[in-house]
Amino acid sequence: MLIGTLEQSLIFAIMVMGVYISFRILDFPDMTVDGSFPLGASIVASCLVKGINPVLALFLAIVGGSIAGFITGYINVKYKIANLLAGIIVMTGLYSINIKIMGRSNISLFTVKHLFTLHINKLLLISIIVIICKLALDFLFKTKFGFILKALGDNETLVETLGVDKSKLKIYGLVISNGIVALSGGLYAQYQGFSDVGMGTGTIVTGLASIIIGETIIKNRRKFALTTTVIVGTIIYKIIITLALKIGFNASDLKLISAIIVVVILALKNNKMLKKGGIKNA
């Protein structure tokens, strides 16, 4: 059970890396991820049943997720639609698109060849993919583009003074974010052996819970890459969920548990900040 929890944690850690980009770096509460996660799964599932190579299928999933992120960013900056509403609109549209891609609401992958039917240890394979994603993002955020992208969420005015088009930069960030989320969805579909149109429900809550837990556990984040914080938070979050199931909660309760975890941690975090502010003011 522990091995299974760790495997799922690492797959979801990829998704949380994408959520971190939009939520923390861009300061953009992007609901698109609830649609781009199953989009990645839908694309991969449809490709696999047609005999397409699993690696190529994952690449196509990334492309699909990137397009979804582009649409969200475009309608946000072009038509001045609020970021939250833009994400909800695209997420809603993706529900129908995912059904059209699969031709039905779900596809079974138990009879087709995919990454996890190969004679390779699952944990090792997932770990390699996660490490590649982690190193790629760590490298990205050390580049000039990465530094400007991080500055965008903190101070848009500063980015404009540097002569950078903040609108295009925001779209690029959402493209990367949703591409990564779709990759996670495609990988998860192969891991569990099926793709379902409703598998993305609560993705944003899972991502936020993992991010908050990681930031709470790792106090001095300057010593660690943001990807490390994300991975640690996701593993701990999944362990909490597994323990909840172990002590008798139903699988249908997991979304409620996730929501409660987010509320409790945010409440505790905000309470600590208020106390510190009160002490300083005194």
SS3 80: coil
Residues paired with 195 in a beta bridge = 107
Residue 6: count other Cβ atoms within 10 Å of its Cβ: 18
Q: What is the pTM of this model?
A: 0.94
pLDDT tens by residue, the chain, 282 residues: 789 999 999 999 999 999 999 999 999 999 999 999 999 999 999 999 999 999 999 999 999 999 999 999 999 999 999 999 999 999 999 999 999 999 999 999 999 999 999 889 999 999 999 999 999 999 999 999 999 999 998 888 888 888 899 999 999 999 999 999 999 999 999 999 999 999 999 999 999 999 989 988 887 666 678 899 999 999 999 999 999 888 888 888 888 888 888 888 888 777 776 666 654 444
- Whole-angstrom distance, CA of residue 271 vs CA of residue 273: 5
- 192's enclosing H/E stretch is helix 166-192
| Per-domain boundaries in the chain | 2-199
- Whole-angstrom distance, CA of residue 60 vs CA of residue 44: 8
Do 28 and 170 touch, CB atoms closer than 8 A?
yes
What's at 281, amino acid-wise? Answer: N
The pair of structure tokens assigned to 170 is 């925001």
Residue 259: count other Cβ atoms within 10 Å of its Cβ: 14
Question: Please, what's the b/e burial string for 206-219 (b: 16 or more CB within 10 A of its CB; e: otherwise)?
Answer: bbbbbbbbbbbebe
**Interacting residues of 98 by C-beta distance below 8 A, sequence separation 6+:** 35, 38, 39, 42, 197
The pair of structure tokens assigned to 260 is 């409660």
